[in-house]
Amino acid sequence: MTTNTINAHDITAEEFEIQRLLGRRITPEVIATFQIESRLNGWQYPTPGGGLRWKNFDSGATPKYQWLDGKSESAGSLYYADDLKDQIAMSGGVCWYVSGEPDVWAMRSALIPHVFSGFTEKVINPNFSDFLHSMGVKRLYIAPDLDETGAAFACKVAAALLGTGIELDCRQLPAELGEHGDIGKAWIKDNSQTPFIYYLLGLPRWYPEPEKPKVQTPLVVSTGEWSDIPADYRKKIMDACGVTKIKPDGFSNLVLCRIHNEEKPSAHFHETKGLYCFHEMKWYKWIEVGAVLGIEPFKQEKPTVILASPQLAVEAQRELIRLGFTALCRLLDELYQQGLAGGEVLTVKEIDATCPNLSPWTIRQAVKQAKGKGYFLREIPPSNAGRYGEGKTLKKSEKKKNSKSKGRPAKRIQVPDLTRLYAALNVQPETWQTDLPAYSRQNAAQYRAEVMAAKIRHKAGEYYIKQLTKPMGISPKTLRTYCKRANIEVTPRFDKRLMRTADDIQSLPEDARELAEWRREGKFKGAVWLETLDGKYKFAPTQEGAARAGRDGRAFRLVKQLANHYKASKP
């Protein structure tokens, strides 16, 4: 809004913008004090924190404000002239807190130099009262804007001054200033001969209700059964990064990526997986983020777990399957389920009678797989308990004679002790146990499928394919088959980001060759592509692909496939 008509054809663009300031009754002295300069269709000016800020002359335009050197100051920072402390002292400890930088310029032009503002009305500096005390403020005046934001601003200031000893004096601007009326508009419209300070102090006083402090709900972090990272260590990292909540899907609110020191929230945490950066579309491990934050690394030793009942742990089952010993795994599982303990000795015939869910061929195959590996099923040498005494081992000549006269002695097998078995396989069983259905031991493929599904049945959630395939040495294709066999429901998950600006497109590799380099360097992991919003057309995640995807003004998005969600289906 201006009070004078300006002929834009007679002056330069720079002079035109300065004339707009003069039209707002901003004096040349104030323009010089705050180093306000013309820039495009607005003004630029330095801030106390060293940043360079820009204000659009049209308050209804977008953007209204902008940081020209990136957001170099937080929203809670304050704006004032260098002589503010001296001016407050000369006023006897009185100060005005206004709604924005233009209001500061208006107040200074109205010869009210003891004034400051914030860069937003929505946030009050957490050290606000400390700042006022350091400046010697005893009474703080405010005259909020005539809108909901202004009313909320007054309540925030009232809450910030509770118990500080600083008096708050709030004045009501007149309704004739119109919607969104503020001190700047009041200064433009004021045509009285009396000082503007008398106008402000003559306004009616009102008493804003202090805003009630928000109750901070403690951040609860899941222990994450399959996560090796302690919950307290993860919580330290998330607290340091500003995480305030964990959503039901396990992801946090958006936070600043501390890996890149970005100024805008561009990442989020998963309560067990770590930090996901949208800028690089990349996961960072907890240890990596903790190192950047300077948080001391944790030390955690896996406890020795003593299982309450003799049964084969799922970790041992997966390792035996990975080694190619499925038959042996089924046999051991069946023996333990039938109540046999480590150290017991049986003949093959006795084992056959003890294991109703296994065929004789499977038992022979299991014994064959264990041959030469005494820590699995140990073969006990034949002995003659009658003629030669209990437990006496036969000599070669005696074995030969015995075999001719009485037939070959029965092969005796010793059931391995679980502790020795786990040590031999180099596995550490978890504290939870899952009993596989008995029918699964009757079929090798079904048994492997149930072993794969045991962890999912224990805890449904997002798992990377490698988390399920690598421990068992199976392929992704086999994993899909096993999920069908074990009745596991698989829900694909995707991260979809709309490509809105040129910066979004510039963040992609230029062409297929650069894309290949990015993949080798780890910048792009997994399946990533561009697609139209209807999902009908897909393109390579490159700038060339973006040009094809956005042809004829068509909207498109970047899609990255995330870990699938797995859960047991209801029968």
Please tell me the least confidently modeled range out of 206-215, 349-358, 384-393: 384-393
> Which pLDDT belongs to residue 169?
96
Of residues 446 and 41, more confidently modeled: 446
Q: Is the pLDDT of residue 5 over 80?
A: no
pLDDT at 2: 41
Instruction: Provide the pLDDT for residue 187.
Output: 95
Span 281-297, mean pLDDT? 83
Question: What digits encode the pLDDT tens for the residues 113-160?
Answer: 999 999 888 888 878 999 999 999 999 999 999 998 899 999 999 999
Residue 19 DSSP SS3: helix
Average pLDDT over residues 343-356: 86
Which of these ranges, 62-71, 348-357, 473-482, 506-515, has the smallest mean pLDDT?
62-71
Give pLDDT, residue 216.
53
Q: Which of 14-28, 182-196, 374-388 has the lowest mean pLDDT?
A: 374-388
What pLDDT is attached to residue 520?
A: 85
Find the DSSP H helices in 342-417.
348-354, 360-370, 396-406
| pLDDT band for position 224 (cuts 50, 70, 90) | very low
Higher pLDDT, 357 or 308: 357
Q: Which helix (H) or strand (E) holds 169?
A: strand 167-171
Residue 514: count other Cβ atoms within 10 Å of its Cβ: 15
pLDDT at 179 over 70: yes
Name the pLDDT band for 339 (thresholds 50, 70, 90): confident
Instruction: Enumerate residues 6+ apart whose C-beta is below 8 A from 259.
Output: 267, 275, 277, 284, 288, 289, 292
Distances (CA, A) of 539 to 173, 281, 352: 57, 17, 59
What mean pLDDT comes out for the span 406-411?
65
Examine the pLDDT at 6 and tell me if it is beyond 50.
no
Least confident of 343-347, 392-396, 487-491, 535-539: 392-396
Model confidence over 553-562: pLDDT tens digits?
788 999 988 8
pLDDT of residue 263: 66
pTM: 0.45
**Residue, of 527 and 101, whose pLDDT is higher:** 101
User: For residues 488 and 420, which has the higher predicted lDDT (pLDDT)?
Assistant: 488
What whole-number distance in Å separates Cα of residue 113 and Cα of residue 59?
24
Q: Which residue has the tokens 């690598």?
A: 470
Place of tokens 């049945």: 457
**Contact status, residue 350 vs residue 410, Cβ threshold 8 Å:** no
% of the chain surpassing 90 pLDDT: 31
**CA dihedral over 25, 28, 32, 37, signed as positive or negative:** positive
Q: Determine the pLDDT at residue 14.
A: 64
Residue 398 has pLDDT above 60, yes or no: no
Burial class for 169, CB neighbours closer than 10 Å (0-12, 13-18, 19+): middle
d(CA 171, CA 200): 7
Question: Across the chain, what does the average pLDDT equal?
Answer: 82
Instruction: Work out the burial of residue 103: count CB atoms within 10 Å of its CB; fewer than 13 is exposed, 13-18 middle, 19 or more buried.
Output: buried
pLDDT, mean of residues 414-422:
85
CB 550 within 8 A of CB 499: yes
Which residue, chain included where needed, has tokens 């308050």? 59
Domains of the chain: 13-67 (no CATH), 78-206 (3.40.1360.10), 231-293 (no CATH), 314-377+415-455 (no CATH), 492-568 (no CATH)
Instruction: Check pLDDT > 60 for residue 293.
Output: yes
pLDDT digits (tens, 9 = 90+) for 10-65: 556 567 667 888 888 999 999 999 999 988 788 899 998 888 888 888 877 777 88
CB-CB neighbours of 199 under 10 Å: 16
What local confidence, expressed as pLDDT, does residue 1 receive?
A: 40
Q: Answer whether residue 69 shows pLDDT above 90.
A: no
Spatial contact of 566 and 483, defined as CB atoms under 8 Å apart: yes
Tokens read off for 438: 């008995």
